[in-house]
Structure 1
Amino acid sequence: MKMNRGLRAAVALLLACASAAAHAGHYPVTVRSCNRDVTFTQIPARAVSNDLNLTEMMLALGLRTRMAGFTGISGWKTADPALQAALLGLPELARRYPSLETLAAAHADLYVAGWNYGMRVGGPITPQTLARFDIATYELTESCSHVMPRPAASLDDVYNDLRNLGAIFDVEARARMLIASMQSRVADVRRVLNANTQTTPRVLVYDSGEDKPFTAGALAMPTALIRAAGGRNVMDDVAQSWTQVSWESVVARDPQVIVIVDYGAVTAAQKEAFLLSSPALANVAAIRARRFVVVAYDAATPGVRNAQAVETIARGLHPEAFAAHNNTPGTP
């Protein structure tokens, strides 16, 4: 039996009202964002995410229809064709960091960002300055080290962000599924390593820089990724997030493997060529053995691709373990 137009409209209205009532019953919701409690009295309708990793979190949670746009992707040349397709039709409000005026003009009600992921300490965009425009802010957990004391980065930081975004947008079941999938993949890596290796290679993260390398310290996500992949970041005693160090400190720590973060105008191959050509690094173990692992920007920064990064790094650090695993009878 076909419904007439009036009946279809009435049914649609009832479904919309039922959906709104269901969401209304979920609120108010309070989450912890760095050193602040943030309360939401209703589901955000015009959220803006900054940076590739945070935007991917929003998309993975099915929140595109709750977004007014995104910022900070094309200016850093981080998006791949698949993500560009997923974002088609959603406006990029700023190629790098947005201004207050940009977010206000978009009628944003939530800015999903982080410190050095769309906000800078003492800069024009902060939770306090956005509050004047009635724009709430959710801060990336890993980035909270810039505004408060924090332990070393952990994959739990990412799971915390997914749980909090799930609560903010009333998509907690989807957040739990994403977390469970990531945890399962990381656990699979650990099982292979436990069964097939006893070594812990020394690893340097190379983001960029020629005069001085820009790398990951203890408070940046790659330290956690490398640990989960059965290695040790040679800069894990540097109590900072992403930071510059000296080439002398790299040589002194003699990394056995170098993880190259792939993004921007300088390709991973060009970064590798620079490292191989540096006389200062000629005697570093990773250079002599030409051992490099390439990880995309959104896999190296906190986000839904971190489990994939653990798999990639683990295979680069322990190829023999995965070869033994793949040759084990009955291995899927």
Structure 2
Amino acid sequence: MTPALPSASLLAQLDDRSREIFRQIVDGYLASGEPVGSRHISRVLPMTLSPASVRNVMQDLEELGLVYAPHISAGRLPTEMGLRFFVDSLLQIGDVGPQERARMQAQVETASKERDFEGVLAEATGLLSGLARAAGVVAVDKADVRLKQIDFVRLERERVLAILVAEDGGVENRVLPVPKDLPASALIEAANYLNARIRGRTLAEARREIEAARVAAQAELDALTARLVEAGIASWGGAGRELIVRGQAHLLEDLTALEDLERIRLLFSDLETKTEVIDLLERAEEGEGVRIFIGSENKLFSLSGSSMIAAPLHDANRRIVGALGVIGPTRLNYARIVPMVDYTAKLLSRVAGGG
């Protein structure tokens, strides 16, 4: 397999003709999911080029790892690396049309007058799902969740299951890596230390309490137990978060092959994995603006080969309170959906901030 090169390095290796042929392959795939052949490309190129010359360029693109031939006599499809390169270097982002913008704003504003914030989120996520023809997802903090206890259970020599129980009966599980020489007594000691400080507190309160006592903890606990306490704190990122999924049925539209149906079945299974969906949405919170996750770049989509387009949500103080996005096949209409996700996130941030 061709090693992945930085997008800038790949871009430098492609002349205008190669870029245009690659763009035609990606555009064709995003539109139909079908391989794009040299004869078709030679007809639609803005320059005169024979099918044989197009095939030569296709071969060069294949050697760079940007495209592949699913069958010997077929045209080409973009690889996941090719899609990433396209998104990073060649994608021309559109804008939300005035009619769609007005509709989205009116629907969110109406929902904000009639429902609580969770209801507004559900409404906006369903709307975004319908516009994008994909599944809409959103994860936000459940600020009022109060904790009851945390336990650690060893799964293997180097893995521990952290079980966080809330007073409302909710349970969140996280698998944590630990040193293989961590004694069983450290699990008990770490759980006792945390439980003495988290009971009855919200996640934010508990985190502040324990992080404020970090120096004292390092003096009070041995090094391995202190590391486990820190890992336990870090694992709470998605705990106490509300996950809303809307519009999975849109994923069944426009299927072109049995392989597509199998990928969608796997994606449905992915969407049932609440923890991993929340974890991926949290990665979208790590920077400003929209982030795009493609296929096996993340473990959640390693089997279904799907994509997520997501953006963070903020409150009035610019504090991140969650993330919103859409999930679908890798042939999502990125140019159209990216600005939709961005605009919806800004609308919801305005509601969260009371604006």
TM-score scaled by length of structure 2: 0.24
Greater Rg, structure 1 or structure 2? 2
TM-score scaled by length of structure 1: 0.25
Question: Counting helix residues as a fraction of each chain, which structure ranks higher?
Answer: 2
